[in-house]
Structure 1
Amino acid sequence: MSNLKYSLPAPRDGFQTVVKPGDSGLKYIHFGLLYLKGGGEWSAAADGKEAVFLLQGGGGRVRVEENSGAEMVFLLLPRRSLFHEKPSLVYFPPDTKFTIAAGPEGLSGAYIEAPARHRGVPFHVTPDLLTQQTVGEANWQRFVTLATIPECGARKLIVGETINPPGNWSSYPPHKHDTLVPEVEVPMEEVYHYRFSPPGGFAIQRVYDPPGGGERLEEVAVVEEGDSMVLPRGYHPVVAAPGYSLYYLWVLAGEENSYGAWSDDPAHKWILQNR
């Protein structure tokens, strides 16, 4: 049984924490899932933290109370598919109070926090602001969307989505981001959250340290619908089972947030030279 895999019971109305600081070595990320029935509401405050809400299904609106006392309202247009539509995301700077309200069809999504102290402005990332990139080729091609675009102002969190076609690998060649290497790699912990199409799919997630040093991290886990995995350090490739498309939400956090600041496993980096 993996010490890094987390599973919730059946979804229930309201917010449920999946992982938080202290779980499997996490220092920064508090990650959970929000489900609201039609017309339902959930209110919270990002006290001493920055936060994001990423819409995964349904639609609604977000009311935000700024530190100045002014109120902003962001409309979350309905999202029908994780696999064919880009997300909406709302960024909350530290100490923001807000209410997420579901539309008639209900709403589901991920709410994520990390400690932060800067001042900022709430920002609504709409799907038209996002670009889905094709990364890799052959059976390691996947489709990646960075949701926390620079305009949103996040200082600690990086959040995005990846789609693996059936049988394909991602986070490949394997990469890691657990060591400070100036201009190359920045230490950031990570969490993955998995979904599948059609239902009933699974994927294989490996997490491992490079050779040398002390006790090595080496875990391989079967992940299924709704599972999440903490990636505290090390390389972390994942492969979808044949016949099933894999969606995973990924969350990075650290003292710095620098997207792309990672190092590839030298043992497998050669695949980039054969493109």
Structure 2
Amino acid sequence: MRLEQQPLSQVPEKAYHLPAGTAAAHGYDLEVTPESAGWGYSGLRVVTLAAAEEHAFSTGDDEVVVVPLSGAVSVEADGSHLDLAGRADVFAGPTDFAYLPPGTTATLLSERGGRFALCTARTDRHLPVRYGAAADVPVELRGAGRSSRQVRNFGTPDHLDAGAIIACEVITPDGNWSSYPAHKHDEASATESELEEIYYFEIAAGPQGQPGLGFFRTSSSPGHPIEITEEVHDRDVVLVPFGWHGPAVAAPGHAMYYLNVMAGPPHPAAEAQGGRAWLISDHPDQTWIRSTWADEQVDPRLTGERS
């Protein structure tokens, strides 16, 4: 499935940075759809539920992965009942999740309340409703030294069978850099896949609750002019339609979390994964940094398996 897209080169670059609250709609704290983003596949919604509150929705043309950001939730979906234990917050570790196919009617119920992400991708592939356990989420350590980060690969092609969606979570300790070296995935080739990407950020507060910050960069790749350098705050979103993206930099004193949601047209080399391929190209000026990691220790504040 390939959708006709709006000319992204005509979109004001400030539209790619959505500060917290500015993309609220239809009862969601955040609503990004392919239509609102001006592209073809990727979307993300975040909903806050009070204690004992319900939220009903239809997946429509999208597959949806329900990811608790804080709190527990029950998911009723076309006769299936899934209980997600969730977590206290995004820094507490991986969470369990629910996968819902297109054309599904679902209801969320949170007895104690919480915040929940609905990661979406436009697809015509129909797969069963199912539960993903937190204990089964691969936790990967990437980089080393000040480039260390933890990646939770709950929705990547090797872990989740899906139609189009690719999703993961990244924890960057305060003072560290992630999404580094900068990389791109804006054309289909033997070494790269075409993926639209959403970065949803949460930034840890300081010891007395001081609001945190970080920085995020997207720059032009061949044939794709874009220049974004943004100070990002808790619950901000940055859309990456194309270009070299990264680094994401966590300010000292403020750990950074981001949820990545990606999707795009099927890649011909990934038929076994339904066309889903997460293939990237490093920025040629920055890829050398990878060669330094073998002689550095991973940041001890992180846990997981070093890749």
TM-score, with normalisation over the residues of structure 1?
Answer: 0.90
Match of 1:5 in 2: 17
Match of 1:261 among 247, 269, 279: 279
Q: Tell me, yes or no, if structure 1 residue 112 matches structure 2 residue 119.
A: yes
Match of 2:299 in 1: none
Name the SS of the counterpart of 1:274 in structure 2: helix
Name the SS of the counterpart of 2:52 in structure 1: coil
Q: CA deviation at 1:84?
A: 2.2
Name the SS of the counterpart of 1:2 in structure 2: helix
Deviations 1:172-228 (A, max 9, x none): 11111001111x100000000111122511111000123x54x62111001001100
Distance 2:37 2:62 in 1: 20
Q: CA deviation at 1:24?
A: 4.7
Q: What residue identity is the alignment partner of 1:246?
A: M
Distance 1:152 1:133 in 2: 16
Match of 2:225 among 216, 237, 240: 216
Q: Tell me, yes or no, if structure 1 residue 251 matches structure 2 residue 258.
A: no
Distance 1:176 1:12 in 2: 30
Name the SS of the counterpart of 1:15 in structure 2: coil
Match of 1:68 in 2: none
Name the SS of the counterpart of 2:92 in structure 1: coil
Distance 1:16 1:85 in 2: 23
Match of 2:32 among 19, 28, 35: 19
Question: 1:162-201 to 2 correspondence within 5 Å?
Answer: 162-182=170-190, 184-198=191-205, 199=209, 200-201=211-212
What stretches of structure 1 move > 6 A for 4+ residues in a row?
10-13
Distance 2:159 2:202 in 1: 28
Q: Runs of 5+ in structure 2 lacking a partner? A: 1-12, 267-274, 294-307
- Aligned-residue CA RMSD (Å): 2.1
Moved more, 2-11 or 88-97: 2-11
Sequence identity percentage? 26
Distance 1:129 1:6 in 2: 32
Q: CA deviation at 1:167?
A: 1.1
Moved more, 237-246 or 108-117: 108-117
Q: CA deviation at 1:151?
A: 5.4
Distance 1:121 1:78 in 2: 21
Q: CA deviation at 1:52?
A: 1.3
Name the SS of the counterpart of 2:113 in structure 1: strand
Q: What residue identity is the alignment partner of 1:18?
A: E
Match of 1:203 in 2: 214
Distance 2:31 2:64 in 1: 15
Task: Identify, as 1 or 2, the structure richer in strand.
Answer: 1
Match of 1:229 in 2: 238
Deviations 1:80-127 (A, max 9, x none): 131122122111111111111112x20211112222112210111121
TM-score, with normalisation over the residues of structure 2?
Answer: 0.81
Match of 1:124 in 2: 131
Number of matched residues? 266
Deviations 1:48-103 (A, max 9, x none): 221111110111211110xxxxx111111141131122122111111111111112
Match of 1:42 among 55, 73, 77: 55
Q: CA deviation at 1:12?
A: 10
Q: Tell me, yes or no, if structure 1 residue 63 matches structure 2 residue 73.
A: no
